[in-house]
Amino acid sequence: MIPKKCALCGKTKYRHVPGVGNPKAKLMLIGEAPGPQEDKLGKPFVGPAGQFLNKQLAAVGIDRKDVWITNVVKHRCIGPPDDKIIGKSLPLLKKEIKSIKPNLIVLLGDTAVKAVVDKNYSVSKDHGKIIKSGKFSYFVVHHPSAARRFKRIRKIFLSDFNKLATLSRALG
C-alpha cells in the first residue's frame, strides 16, 4: 500500500482502520488509535494490546464477535493523537456510535474518556464507573496496552473487567 499524507496531522499514514464487529452490538469498545499491527491489517485491536483484550473478554465470557470495537482516531499516529486530530476524528466516531446504538460503551484509556465524554474525567479516578452522558452510558477502564505492561494497572483492569462481565450479562 502506498503511504498518503494525513489531512489531520500532516504526517504519513497508510490506511484507514474502521471499527469492526457486530453492527447490532449492545456493547461497544472504544480505544485511542491504531498501532502498527492495526495499520498493517486494517483492523482495530489486532496487535499485542488487542490479543490481551481478546483474552480478557473471553475470560469474562464476552465473545469479541458479539461486540463492536473501534478507536477515537481511525489511523495510526506517531505518538499520542493531539487535540486537533481528536477533534477532527470525533464526528466520524459519533456517527459510528449513532449507527451501532450500543447499550453500553466501554472507554479504553484516558484518550477515549476525555475525547468522548469530557476532559474532566480520567481513567485513574473514574475506572470501573458508569458515566451517563447524553443518550449513552459509558464504562471506564484502563487501556489494555497499559494493563498488559504494568502489573498494578493490570490488577485494576481485571477487576473492572469482572464488573463489565456483570454489566454485559444485564444487557442480555
CATH code for the domain of 143: 3.40.470.10
CA distance 68 to 23: 7
> Which of 97, 109, 111 has the alpha carbon at shortest distance from 69?
97
Burial string for 154-165 (b: 16+ CB within 10 Å, else e) reads bebbeebbebbb
Burial string for 63-74 (b: 16+ CB within 10 Å, else e) reads ebeebbbbbbbb
Kindly state the average pLDDT of the residues 139-156. 97
In a domain, 1, yes or no: no
pLDDT class for 76, splitting at 50, 70, 90?
confident
Cell reading at 149: 505492561
Number of domains in the chain: 1
95-137 residue pLDDT tens? 999 999 999 999 999 999 999 999 999 999 999 999 999 899 9
What pLDDT sits at residue 96?
Answer: 97
In a domain, 76, yes or no: yes
Kindly state the average pLDDT of the residues 30-58. 94
**Secondary structure of 75-95 in HEC code, one letter for each residue:** CCCCCCCCHHHHHHHHHHHHH
What 116-125 contacts at long range (C-beta under 8 Å, 24+ apart), as own/partner pairs, is 116/30, 116/72, 116/90
C-alpha pair distances (Å), 96 with each of 18, 41, 92: 9, 20, 6
- Domain range for 159 is 15-171
In terms of pLDDT, which residue wins out, 94 or 5? 94
The whole-angstrom distance between residue 132's C-alpha and the CA centroid of its chain comes to 17
Confidence (pTM):
0.91
Instruction: Indicate if the pLDDT at residue 77 is higher than 90.
Output: no
In a domain, 6, yes or no: no
In a domain, 23, yes or no: yes
In a domain, 63, yes or no: yes
